[in-house]
Amino acid sequence: MEFEIRTLKPGPEPKITGPKVFGVRPGHPVLFAVSATGEKPLSFAAEGLPPGLTLDAQAGRFSGTLSERGEYPITLSTKNACGESKRSFKFVVGDRIALTPPLGWNSWNCFAEDVDEAKIRAAATAMAESGLADHGWSTINIDDCWQVRHPDPGRDAEGNILTNDKFPDMKALAEFIHSLGLKAGIYSSPGPLTCAGFAGSYGYEERDAARYAEWGYDYLKYDWCSYTEIAKDKSLAEYKKPYEVMRAALDKVDRDIVYSLCQYGRADVWEWGGGVGGNCWRTTGDIVDTWESMSTIGFSQNGKERHAGPGHWNDPDMMVVGQVGWGPSLHPTRLTPDEQYTHITLWSLLAAPLLIGCDMTRLDDFTVSLLTNDEVLDINQDPLGRQARRMSADGDMEVWMKELEDRSQAIGLFNRGSSPAEVAAEFKGRRMVRDVWRQQNLGPFDDGYKTAVAPHGAELIRVSNPE
């Protein structure tokens, strides 16, 4: 298949990438690693670091705690044989975490029930060694199927959740993931069973939250499924309840755990997901690797933007680029390269959690290029935390716009049709236009910008005021 790699390879000079802000609760361990590209070895430093925090100069990993609420601006720097680069950064200590959308990987879209500990370790190793972690990718999430299968009670005599034979030691697994500078995620359901029929958390929420913390997990996906049997009257209160119960349990542990609600968008979860303490919530049913599935989900997010912001994100589901397949046999995504540009462009503009769904040990150059474009990732991770909205739709041509912290705008030009088309974005007066994927300035344009967009394809520009 013919395809165009748009992303430039990183140069040898040091460059800090990744989020520019990190939220942590008072007194909870700070788990944050600075990411940077450039020739190794790199060394790291931080100016203005508040007492309580230390930075490992070789690994670029922070550790410690901050007990006073407030904002702590610092300057990060990284050096190598080719030079030095700096970036402003901020720790925010308060009730909110996930101040930028989670950036990570999840096991479901490739392995589903075929997952095991070795595959999770391999994914984490690949995240670190493929260079993806250098661009800010940071979380390795185990999805369903680590627990004991029903009808076995799935718990010991004290009620502690048991793992199946494929996951002999969840604590050692989290430690391994942390040893690579990454964070670890786990999965459960509020009902008695998970979606794939393993033991869920119903009736054991506090015990499970305590276990996740003791094991060292940093992210929980909490997936509705069998709670349908419990929520008999389908009232809004019934939809919220299991998420409130787990929220209260998570609030009792002394660890920050990103709380990802999964109930497929029922009862307009975007209206109340933040209110029940979710850091993100799925807005749709499960994605598959077809144009119809991906584009229907992605382009239907318009209108939900007012519910997204730092600490609370709409989640249009995990990504379907690379080798996917829901286990045991994988195949290259059925999305064409242009459709993959649409997928990553749209999810970035939507400030969606970006969760890679493919086999991390079999990344090809094109997939790596889609996932390592720092200017695209910066749009997703922009600290203002706005989600794009649709500015115009003209037949198959759509223009979506995301406001950014520096007062520039990221604009996606999409062609949902099956023949080439010109797509136009309008703006007022003279603005500077940059091609984000190709990282090139296109020059000043007056009152708008128009370009050819491939069938099912996308272009992404950043528009700013002239200096």
Any idea which residues carry the catalytic annotation? 223, 286
**Residues near 275 by Cβ (< 8 Å), separated by ≥ 6?**
240
**What one-character-per-residue DSSP string does 43-68 give?**
EEEEETPPTTEEEETTTTEEEE---S
Considering only residues 110-169, where is the footprint of ligand GLA by CB under 6 A?
143-144
* Contacting residue, 55, 195, 246, 411, with ligand GLA by CB under 6 A: 195
Among the residue ranges 190-198, 272-280, 290-298, 437-445, the one whose residues contact ligand GLA (CB under 6 A): 190-198
**Residues near 58 by Cβ (< 8 Å), separated by ≥ 6?**
41, 43, 44
Does 223 contact ligand GLA by CB under 6 A?
yes
Separation CA 178–CA 124 (nearest Å): 9
| Beta carbon nearer to ligand GLA, 252 or 266 | 266
H or E segment to which residue 22 belongs? strand 21-24
| Beta carbon nearer to ligand GLA, 195 or 231 | 195
* Contacting residue, 44, 108, 137, 217, with ligand GLA by CB under 6 A: 108
Does 13 contact ligand GLA by CB under 6 A?
no
**Residues near 416 by Cβ (< 8 Å), separated by ≥ 6?**
295, 299, 396, 397, 398, 456
Least gap, CB of 287 to ligand GLA (angstroms): 8
CA R_g for the chain: 22
Does 382 contact ligand GLA by CB under 6 A?
no
Does 214 contact ligand GLA by CB under 6 A?
no
Token readout for 19 is 């989020």
Q: String of b and e for 211-240 (b: at least 16 CB within 10 Å)?
A: bbbebbbbbbbbbbbbbeeebeeeeeeebb
Among the residue ranges 170-178, 193-201, 370-378, 443-451, the one whose residues contact ligand GLA (CB under 6 A): 193-201
* Contacting residue, 196, 250, 258, 330, with ligand GLA by CB under 6 A: 196
> Residues in contact with ligand GLA, total (CB under 6 A)?
9
Strand (E) positions, 176-244?
Answer: 183-188, 219-223
| Residues 244, 263 contacting (CB under 8 angstroms) | no
| Beta carbon nearer to ligand GLA, 188 or 373 | 188
Give the residue nearest to ligand GLA (CB): 195
| Beta carbon nearer to ligand GLA, 315 or 339 | 315
Does 72 contact ligand GLA by CB under 6 A?
no
* Contacting residue, 286, 396, 403, 435, with ligand GLA by CB under 6 A: 286
**What one-character-per-residue DSSP string does 126-177 give?**
HHHHSSGGGGT--EEE--S-SBPBTTS--B-TT--B-B-TT-S-HHHHHHHH
Site mask for ligand GLA (CB under 6 A), range 249-278, x = bound: -------------x----------------
Q: Which residues bind ligand GLA (CB under 6 A)?
A: 108, 143-144, 194-196, 223, 262, 286
